[in-house]
Chains A and B, each alone.
Chain A
Amino acid sequence: MTALIKAVGLKKTFPISEGTLSKPTDFVHAVDGVSFEINRSETLGLVGESGCGKTTLGRMVICLLDPTEGKVIFDGIDLVSLSEKQLRKIRNRFQIIFQDPYSSLNPRFTVERLIGEAMLIHKKASKEDLSDRVAFQLERVGLSADYMKRYPHEFSGGQRQRIGIARALALEPEFIVCDEPVSALDVSIQAQIINLLQDLQSELNISLLFISHDLNIVGHLSQNIAVMYLGRIVETAPAKKLRENPAHPYTQALLSANPVPKPGGKSKRKVLVGDVPSPLNPPKGCRFHTRCPDVMDHCLRQSPSSVKISENHWVECHLYD
């Protein structure tokens, strides 16, 4: 089976300069050589802490940001090599749901225009049948079609996120990047949105890249999980394997730091020391060596390469060389 979407050696650096016109003095290595694949109607969960490059990666995958290096192959097409015009034609096949339902909807547009605009551009609807099509999308995400003429401020956070989902679905995409779609929501609403996403995915056979910092959510939704640390994917595995046999010391620490809502469930905790280093100047050798409980001498000098330790289970750590 060939993957629907494939990232190959993606890198992104952002220049930093002292003044607006001066030459860049330094570079932030937000994403530093990342590869992964997602099959049709599967979910890849991407976890990591703030600033590790999850969002940058998510945006590169659907060409909202140009990678500094590397390729994105969507259904056999190299997206990075496409011209603006060619890209626009294919954009309807992949969409994104943003993190913040408060800032990702234009406050001056009605719901009809928010959802319908892209349909008109991509000729998925004509002016005549637009409101019917929008009504269909709204009902699909559990909102009443009467909401069409309202503005974003009239809705709660959960409802806005439903509008964001309806907008992403409007073009019938095959692949959606979900960038922390529930982290701004309360627990009870969060569960509603997670169920909605799962239902829609199985109904429409969409592939998802689900970005989150919450291991419980990622583990609940995904077939495969990739763990990111300072711009690199340090471990990829099927969800069950990752839970039962986390290989990378960082994954182990993340799992053990995850509070379990069950009294007495607190296991012996691997509490990491220190903070995440700055991506401006990532540590030499293995990026995790400053906080790693299992650090060895050569971790400081040599960066580990990806090793396959079992079927579909890859890890970047010198322990497995």
Chain B
Amino acid sequence: MKPLLNISNLNISFQSEAGTVHPVRGVDLKVNEGETVALVGESGCGKSVTALSVLQLLPTPPARFDSGSIQFLDKDLFKLSEPEMQRMRGNDIGMVFQEPMTSLNPILTIGDQIAETILLHNNISQKQTKEKVLDILDKVAIPSPEKRIDQYPHELSGGMKQRVMIAMAISCNPKLLIADEPTTALDVTIQAQILELLENLQKETGMAILLITHNLGIVAEHANKVAVMYAGKIVEESATEYLFEAPAHPYTRGLLNSLPNFSSGNRLNPIPGTVPDPTNLPNGCAFQSRCSDALPHCGEREPSFLKLDQFEEGRRAACFIYESVESVKL
């Protein structure tokens, strides 16, 4: 099966006063039709930059695409002209941003903001557009859409604003929805509402979701596949159930051990140290200084992304402990 989205060997750098930063260093990621892929990692690991690069929303400069490609169906997104890219955004690929409070335009009614996307991509009348907006507001479960359509963002709560963001993103039935930390700014009970809404919409429309989050609980409940990112690289990729059962990369294992658990109360086993300075990454594996399984040659070269199909189909990890894989038991 041909993937819907295929990011291969993506390298992005930023020029800054402190030097050149490489927030994305050789990312490979595939999203198939109808599936939910989670991209997890801690702040600054490059997950949002990867997401923004798919829609080419990164300002260049300071950002620079050094190498790699992003394929959406049969199109190479880097080869598209700006007007062609414009036709994709919102139409084929929708995006939900992290902060609903700042991502909506405060001086336009929410009806106008949703209508903008629809009018841009469809040749329909104002009246039809309004009907469509009402229909979508209803779909994202906003109560009394006739009233809400003429309201401004400040009149809505955080959860409602995020519903409006989702309404905008799905207004043209995209094949792929990129959700960048869609619930991070929301309370847990509202988070549960929004995630349920996304899941229902996915069932209904069959769209694929690239879910960017730092919350492993959300990953476990909503994703089919997970990619774990650390310092600009994907260090592990696996089906969700296997990742939680038997994490392959020491970083993934460390992350899972760091999670406080309501029921156990056992002492946590955190990853020591901190994320390396992005302007001054160490030689070799970026995780070596914090890794409990570090080998002498981890500081010499970077581990390549190894297929670990002998454990599970589709599992991959970038770690030297799997180079001589006979000696490793998962």
Q: What's the Cα separation between A265 and B241 when bound, in Å? A: 11
Tell whether A49 pairs with B187 under 8 Å between CB atoms, given A195-B268, A220-B265: yes
The answer to whether B187 and A188 touch across the interface, beta carbons within 8 angstroms, is no
The answer to whether B188 and A261 touch across the interface, beta carbons within 8 angstroms, is no
Name the B residues within 8 Å of A266 (CB-CB): 220-221
Segment touching B, from A4-12, A34-42, A251-259 = A251-259
**Which residue on B lies nearest to A257, using beta carbons?**
B192
A155 vs chain B, min Cβ distance (A) = 10
Contact of A264 among B193, B241, B261, B262 (CB under 8 A): B241
Name the A residues within 8 Å of B215 (CB-CB): 259
The answer to whether A257 and B259 touch across the interface, beta carbons within 8 angstroms, is no
Name the B residues within 8 Å of A220 (CB-CB): 260-262, 264-265, 268
The answer to whether B160 and A191 touch across the interface, beta carbons within 8 angstroms, is no
The answer to whether A258 and B258 touch across the interface, beta carbons within 8 angstroms, is no
The answer to whether B220 and A262 touch across the interface, beta carbons within 8 angstroms, is yes
The answer to whether B260 and A261 touch across the interface, beta carbons within 8 angstroms, is no
Q: CB of A215 within 8 A of chain B?
A: yes
**Which residue on A lies nearest to B143, using beta carbons?**
A274
The answer to whether B42 and A260 touch across the interface, beta carbons within 8 angstroms, is no
Q: CB of B152 within 8 A of chain A?
A: no
Q: CB of B255 within 8 A of chain A?
A: yes
Q: What's the Cα separation between A259 and B192 when bound, in Å? A: 8
The answer to whether A198 and B240 touch across the interface, beta carbons within 8 angstroms, is no
A160 vs chain B, min Cβ distance (A) = 12
B137 vs chain A, min Cβ distance (A) = 16
Q: CB of A140 within 8 A of chain B?
A: no
Name the A residues within 8 Å of B268 (CB-CB): 191, 194-195, 220
The answer to whether B193 and A271 touch across the interface, beta carbons within 8 angstroms, is yes
The answer to whether B189 and A253 touch across the interface, beta carbons within 8 angstroms, is yes
Name the B residues within 8 Å of A265 (CB-CB): 220-221
The answer to whether A261 and B256 touch across the interface, beta carbons within 8 angstroms, is yes
Q: CB of A282 within 8 A of chain B?
A: no
The answer to whether B188 and A198 touch across the interface, beta carbons within 8 angstroms, is no
A109 vs chain B, min Cβ distance (A) = 23
The answer to whether A262 and B244 touch across the interface, beta carbons within 8 angstroms, is yes
Tell whether A187 pairs with B157 under 8 Å between CB atoms, given A259-B218, A275-B190: no
Contact digits for A63-101, partner B, Cβ 8 Å, 1 yes 0 no:
000000000000000000000000000000000000000
Q: What's the Cα separation between A260 and B267 when bound, in Å? A: 18
Tell whether A188 pairs with B254 under 8 Å between CB atoms, given A49-B187, A259-B218: yes
A residues 235-277 near B (Cβ < 8 Å) are 239, 243, 253-254, 256-266, 269, 271-273, 275-276
B155 vs chain A, min Cβ distance (A) = 12
B residues 168-209 near A (Cβ < 8 Å) are 187-193, 195-196
The answer to whether A263 and B260 touch across the interface, beta carbons within 8 angstroms, is no
Name the B residues within 8 Å of A256 (CB-CB): 192
Name the A residues within 8 Å of B257 (CB-CB): 191
A194 vs chain B, min Cβ distance (A) = 6
The answer to whether A198 and B267 touch across the interface, beta carbons within 8 angstroms, is yes
A313 vs chain B, min Cβ distance (A) = 17
Q: CB of B63 within 8 A of chain A?
A: no
Name the A residues within 8 Å of B271 (CB-CB): 188, 191
Q: CB of B248 within 8 A of chain A?
A: no
B169 vs chain A, min Cβ distance (A) = 21
Contact digits for B238-249, partner A, Cβ 8 Å, 1 yes 0 no:
001100110000
Name the B residues within 8 Å of A190 (CB-CB): 258, 260, 270
Q: CB of B105 within 8 A of chain A?
A: no
Contact digits for A184-207, partner B, Cβ 8 Å, 1 yes 0 no:
001111111011001000000000
Contact digits for A149-173, partner B, Cβ 8 Å, 1 yes 0 no:
0000000101100000000000000
Q: What's the Cα separation between A259 and B265 when bound, in Å? A: 17
Name the B residues within 8 Å of A158 (CB-CB): 274
The answer to whether B214 and A186 touch across the interface, beta carbons within 8 angstroms, is yes
Tell whether A195 pairs with B193 under 8 Å between CB atoms, given A259-B215, A259-B220: no
Q: CB of A305 within 8 A of chain B?
A: no
The answer to whether B262 and A263 touch across the interface, beta carbons within 8 angstroms, is no
Q: What's the Cα separation between A269 and B193 when bound, in Å? A: 10
Q: CB of A219 within 8 A of chain B?
A: yes
Tell whether A49 pairs with B189 under 8 Å between CB atoms, given A220-B265, A266-B221: yes
A53 vs chain B, min Cβ distance (A) = 14
**Which residue on A lies nearest to B254, using beta carbons?**
A188
A275 vs chain B, min Cβ distance (A) = 4
Q: What's the Cα separation between A269 and B160 when bound, in Å? A: 20
Tell whether A194 pairs with B218 under 8 Å between CB atoms, given A188-B271, A276-B187: no
Q: What's the Cα separation between A214 and B258 when bound, in Å? A: 14
Contact of A272 among B42, B189, B240, B260 (CB under 8 A): B189
Q: CB of A216 within 8 A of chain B?
A: yes
**Which residue on A lies nearest to B141, using beta carbons?**
A273
**Which residue on A lies nearest to B219, using beta carbons?**
A261
B143 vs chain A, min Cβ distance (A) = 8
Name the B residues within 8 Å of A198 (CB-CB): 267
Q: CB of B43 within 8 A of chain A?
A: yes
Q: A190-B270, A198-B267, A275-B159 are in contact. List 9 more A-B contacts (CB 8 A).
A: A156-B274, A187-B258, A213-B188, A219-B265, A256-B192, A259-B221, A263-B245, A265-B220, A275-B157
User: 25 A-B residue contacts at CB 8 Å?
Assistant: A49-B188, A49-B190, A186-B43, A188-B254, A189-B270, A190-B260, A191-B271, A192-B270, A192-B272, A195-B270, A198-B267, A213-B187, A213-B188, A214-B260, A216-B262, A219-B265, A243-B263, A254-B188, A257-B192, A259-B217, A261-B256, A263-B244, A272-B193, A275-B160, A275-B190
Chain A to chain B: the 7 pairs with minimum beta-carbon distance, closest first: A259-B217, A219-B262, A191-B270, A191-B258, A220-B260, A49-B187, A257-B192
